[in-house]
Amino acid sequence: MATQAKDLASAIGWTPPEGWPARTREECKAILTAPGQRFEMETIDIRGVPTRVWKNAPPNLRAIAMLGRMYGPREFTIYEDERVTYDAWFRAVAKLAHELQARGVAKGDRVAVAMRNLPEWPVAFFAAVTIGAICVPLNAWWTGPELAYGLRDSGTKLLICDAERWERILPHRAECPDLETAFVSRCEGEPEGAERLEAVIGTPKGYADLPQMELPEVEIAPDDDATIFYTSGTTGNPKGALGTHRNLCTNIMSSGYNAACAVLRRGDEMPEPMHKVGLTVIPLFHVTACSAGLMGNVAAGHTMIFMHKWDPIKAFEIIEREKVNSTGGVPTIAWQLIEHPERKNYDLSSIEAIGYGGAPSAPELVRKIREVFGALPGNGWGMTETMATVTGHSSEDYLNRPDSCGPPVAVADLKIMNEDGTEEMPAGEVGELWARGPMVVKGYWNNPEATAETFVDGWVRTGDLARLDEEGFCYIVDRAKDMIIRGGENIYSSEVENVLYDHPAVTDAALIGLPHPQLGEEPAAVVHLAPGTTASEEELQAWVADRLAKFKVPVRVVFTEDTLPRNANGKILKKDLATLF
Q: Which amino acid is at 76?
A: F
Q: What is the pLDDT of residue 377?
A: 86
Q: What is the pLDDT of residues 541-560, one digit of tens each?
A: 999 998 887 888 999 999 99
What is the helix (H) or strand (E) element at residue 525, kind and residue range? strand 520-529
Band (pLDDT 50/70/90 cuts) for residue 359 is: low
Band (pLDDT 50/70/90 cuts) for residue 572 is: confident
Long-range contacts of 461-465 (CB under 8 A, 24+ apart): 461/417, 461/421, 461/432, 461/434, 462/383, 462/385, 462/432, 462/433, 462/434, 462/435, 463/432, 464/381, 464/383, 464/432, 464/433, 465/430, 465/431, 465/432, 465/433, 465/492
Q: What is the pLDDT of residues 202-226, one digit of tens each?
A: 999 999 999 999 999 999 999 999 9
Distances (CA, A) of 251 to 254, 375, 382, 392, 439: 5, 23, 11, 11, 7
Q: What is the pLDDT of residue 12?
A: 66
What is the helix (H) or strand (E) element at residue 480, kind and residue range? none
pLDDT at 5 exceeding the cut of 60: no
| 8 Å CB contact between 12 and 366 | yes
Band (pLDDT 50/70/90 cuts) for residue 389 is: very high
Helix (H, G, I), strand (E, B) or coil at 246: helix
Most confident of 295-309, 395-409, 495-509: 295-309
pLDDT at 231 exceeding the cut of 90: no
Q: What is the pLDDT of residue 136?
A: 98
Distances (CA, A) of 44 to 40, 54, 248, 299: 13, 10, 17, 24
Residues 6+ apart with CB under 8 A from 509: 497, 500, 501, 525, 526, 527, 528, 564
Percent of the chain with pLDDT over 70: 96
Q: What is the pLDDT of residues 17-35, one digit of tens each?
A: 899 999 999 999 999 999 9
Distances (CA, A) of 136 to 315, 434, 521: 29, 26, 39
Q: Rounded distance, CA 388 to CA 384, Å?
A: 6
Q: What is the pLDDT of residue 234?
A: 45
Band (pLDDT 50/70/90 cuts) for residue 255 is: very high
Domains of the chain: 2-56+248-275+307-479 (3.40.50.12780), 63-220 (3.40.50.12780), 483-580 (3.30.300.30)
Q: What's the sign of the alpha-carbon dihedral 289, 295, 298, 302?
A: negative
Q: What is the pLDDT of residues 525-545, one digit of tens each?
A: 999 999 999 999 999 999 999
Mean pLDDT (whole number) for 113-131: 98
Mean pLDDT (whole number) for 516-531: 88
What is the helix (H) or strand (E) element at residue 312, kind and residue range? helix 312-322
- Does the N-terminal peptide bond of residue 177 adopt cis geometry, omega within 30 degrees of 0? no
Backbone angles phi, psi at 160, to 5 degrees: -120, 120
**Regarding beta strands 303-306 and 277-280, do their DSSP bridges make them parallel or antiparallel, or are they unpaired?**
parallel
**Regarding beta strands 158-162 and 240-244, do their DSSP bridges make them parallel or antiparallel, or are they unpaired?**
unpaired
**Regarding beta strands 75-79 and 82-85, do their DSSP bridges make them parallel or antiparallel, or are they unpaired?**
antiparallel
Q: Greater confidence, 40 or 545? A: 40
Mean pLDDT (whole number) for 294-299: 97
pLDDT at 9 exceeding the cut of 90: no
Q: Rounded distance, CA 200 to CA 202, Å?
A: 6
CA–centroid distance for 118 within its chain: 18
Inter-axis angle of helices 331-339 and 312-322, nearest 10:
80
What is the overall mean pLDDT for the chain? 92
